Chains A and B, each alone.
Chain A
Amino acid sequence: MKRLSWFNITSLTVGFAFLYLPMVILVIYSFNESKLVTVWAGFSTKWYGELLQNDAFLDAAWVTIKVAVISSTLATVLGTMAAYVLVRGGRFLGRTLFSGMIYAPLVMPEVITGLSLLLLFIGIGLDRGVLTIVLAHTTFSMCYVSVVVSSRLVSFDRSLEEAALDLGSSAWEAFRLVTLPLIAPAVIAGWLLAFTLSLDDLVIASFTAGPGATTLPIKIFSAVRLGVSPEINALSTIMIAIVTVGVISASLISKRNAVKAQKDARAAERAEA
């Protein structure tokens, strides 16, 4: 049994307090009666009620979810294809450029990505709206998806695929019936990552959104610029709650699957013996 030294206990406690206290404070003050966010005036849920009556926020939330669902789904398909090309594609003309275009958006400052896409949309005369945000989000999140999926494809036992091909399945069948189920956890993780990146994005959406389509981060940003408000605290609390429940349940499910896989492996060993 390893024991933590006092130094380690202190650094962990202080470190995690630093990471979590600001969010805890944010959540606590969303239940504050007073309009002044810094003065505690008793418990109340009235800001949540006002939030539900604020049509501007609800509309923006709806646009954001729509954009996130469509763009993350597109990004997952394109990103998985790109990962497959990177890992299994072999040599083809312009391969270096291709892998460069996959990695570059990951390190590109958002202001530059946003600016360049906006200039493209204006250049080709595409009206800014939901479609342009979807195109922008798909482009940068497909790169994240392809990094996640390709790391799984690299460590994947290729002989399984070859066996399927030897047994007479077509390349597409081998992919659908053998490869896809095996890389599914990475594909799902990629989708979730793309989804949260899209939900989160302020800068690229600000460049590519038109007057008719405002996303939630754009709305929050313009409200927050004027100062702290309890309504935004309430909204943040809802978003933090959704993410926390999502991440914790995802990790519990993957833990359960891991335990089950271990059990199956042990059962298989016993059966062999």
Chain B
Amino acid sequence: MNTCCTEHARASAGLPAIEPGMPEPAGTGLSRRNFLLRSAGLGLAVYGAGKLAKLPAFETGVAHAQGAPQGTVLLNVFLDGGVDSLSVLAPVEDATYRRLRPRLALNDGRPFAEDPRLRWHPSVNALADLHAEGKVSVLPAVGYTGADQSHFTSRHFWEVGALDANLRTGWLGRVLDGVGAPDNPLQGVSLDGHLAPALATARNPVAAIAKPEEFGFWAPGAWGPADELAVPAFTQIGRSLQGSGDPAIAQAARAAAFAGTVRDALAPLGADGKPLYAPAAAYPQTADNFPKRLAGFAAMLAAGLPIRAASVRAPGTWDTHANQQETMPKNLQLTFDSLLAFQRDLEARGLADRVLTLVWSEFGRRAAENGSGTDHGAAGVGFLIGTRAAGRMIGEFPGVDKLDAGGNLRATSDFRGLYGALCGDWFGVDPAAVLPDARGLGKPVILK
């Protein structure tokens, strides 16, 4: 590969340039120079500059991206299963609603300032707080015309950003193909240990991480050069095969080619499962990994890692066909308490203006309950959270009096319009280059 050779030359010439005047990477306890030295130079220092030509310089892409001005970031939070929007923001006094939901209707809750008919579920007070601060844009009935009631089809549409069952790249993946770099896997990060389909790219690499403080590669019975050269070896093998015509080989090769880069970039955040970072806000204490993943992500941003998009699944399942009242409140509570902590963490670290959080689900649920739960519906609820978010409703609440033929809520905003606004106004890419249906869909105002 051509880039290999120029990278070798750069690496042997010395360490990556440090831009003067850049702030200290917050939360790492390291100066920027130290940080770059540690992340870019790990493994290289062992042998000194003389041997560098033999190592693939797999760190330079990340190091260079770290030196560049920091871009905006989108965190993509998926409520898997179809959250019941009529329980998150409920028209509590509506007679039709009460008739459709004899068991599940909400009785009370804090008022929603933008629509006097609606009240917040008592378990999402964290979100109500952020909304009161002007940091939440609510999409009370988001979806698309002709909603598909399959989890997997509808979720796929949202992930690929089009009503196209055969599209294989995610909408954020295509954003990253546009704004990203061919040697920076950290530009798109799945935080729950396996690749999120929305981040699937066609060209540029992305990464999946389970725990940022635990990403080592130890080879039993090898130490010294035998150990240190092992990661460069699988990196190089990966690079030599990542263009393979066999998709299985190419997938394995890409994973190998970038795992070492991720290891080096994460090294300052911890080792062997022990974090070297501390959150700047109080996250919920729970066995669930969701708040830990958000805290780790805030620390990764604070460390200056060149991230543009990240994805994570919210805790629990939202597919409440039965026993909705037993599972939904606690999942709502944990999800939005954690997101509030994350927002506070970003604010405390001075990162809040760079980050937007998108919360979405593949559909809403049927207006009429089915006993103790609700079946699949059409339009659902979405949120855009952040200090830069406009804080104004996108689309209105359509009411439960004019449901569609299937008894489901009608959409008053289209997720592809929202994506288009994020492409153009947040990432600075042409929506038409990312979204096949960009033309003809209204573009909501998403930023202040």
Tell whether A pairs with B.
no
